[in-house]
Structures are given as C-alpha cells and as structure tokens.
Amino acid sequence: MLLFQVILFLALSATLYFLIRPVIRGAMYFPTPPEVVSGVVRLAKPRRGESALDIGSGDGRLIIALAKAGAKAVGCEINPLLVWKSRAAIKKSGLAKEASVAWRDFWREDFSRYDILVVFGRTAIMGDLSGKFAAEAKPGVRIVSVVYPLPGWQPTAWEKIGKYSVYLYVKP
C-alpha cells in the first residue's frame, strides 16, 4: 500500500510539475486590447493563403483576428491553461480550419514556414528573438512586435495605439 501511495504521489507531482512549470517560466499574460489587435492585423496585412504565427499566443485573440483577415494562423503557447482557453475561443469563433494553437515552447518552433510573425514579448527575450528571426525567418517575412522593438532591426512602420507601440519589420 505504501509503495502504491509513493508511486501515485510521484506521478501526480510530475504531472503538476509539467502543467505548472510553463505557467511560471513563461511570460506574464496580458490580454491584448482589441484596438491593438486591430493595429497588429492592419500592420501585418495578412493575405489569403499566408501563414501567420503568434509567438506566445495567450488567449488566442490575435490568432482569431489573423484568421478572420485571411491567414492560416497558428499560435505557440507554453501555458496549458491558455492553450485550452485559446482552443475554446477558436472553436467558438468557427475558425477551427483556419486557426490553431499548439502547447509548445516557441524557441523550438521553426520560423521559416511563416509569412507573418507576431510577438508581444518582453525586453529580456527580444535580443535572442531578434537573432532567431535573423537566422530562421525567410526573406520578406513581416514581423509585428507589440510594445518592445527588435534590437538591431529597423521598423518599416510604427503605430502608437493608446499606451502601446506596435512595430512592423520586414526581413530583407
């Protein structure tokens, strides 16, 4: 009986660890205001048939907006609770064929498959992310960054939306 309890405790602990660790390790979740979502879509200019990746996709509102604008939109989210919330929102929106979200660490995502990359990151990751974009993203990719600029990149366009800055970069 004691052995069973120990095994059960270890199994539950491991499960909780893998569910909670991403929540702690990932960036803080801040819902993107609707006017900023509109600004991201306006700057990204998605066209039918293009693919878009929302890096750290939160509750899925940007994925849904990009899909409504015509892109095949994918989200990468490390927080399993937000993945669940995103999937429910995508299903409710009726865009399950155009939008999806994966429970995945974006550092392991291959950026070369996308025409549009969107990030609402934080200062601590923007330098490394800038390097990943330079190394992996294909020429002509449109990168939209909310709040934080990409170090070493020159924005093609920029908008101030309320207290938020939204930057557009096009990789040469």
Per-domain residue ranges of the chain:
34-170
Inter-CA distances, 95 with 99, 144, 154, Å:
6, 22, 34
What is the pLDDT averaged over residues 104-114? 94
- Give the pLDDT confidence of 113-138 residue by residue, as tens digits: 999 999 998 888 899 999 999 999 99
Please give the pLDDT value at position 23: 46
**26 pLDDT exceeds 90?**
no
Domain 34-170 has CATH 3.30.565.10: no
- The pTM of this model reads 0.85
- Give the pLDDT confidence of 39-72 residue by residue, as tens digits: 999 999 999 999 999 999 999 999 999 999 999 9
Cα distance between residue 114 and residue 141, in whole Å: 7
78: left (phi over 0), alpha (psi -120 to 50) or beta: alpha
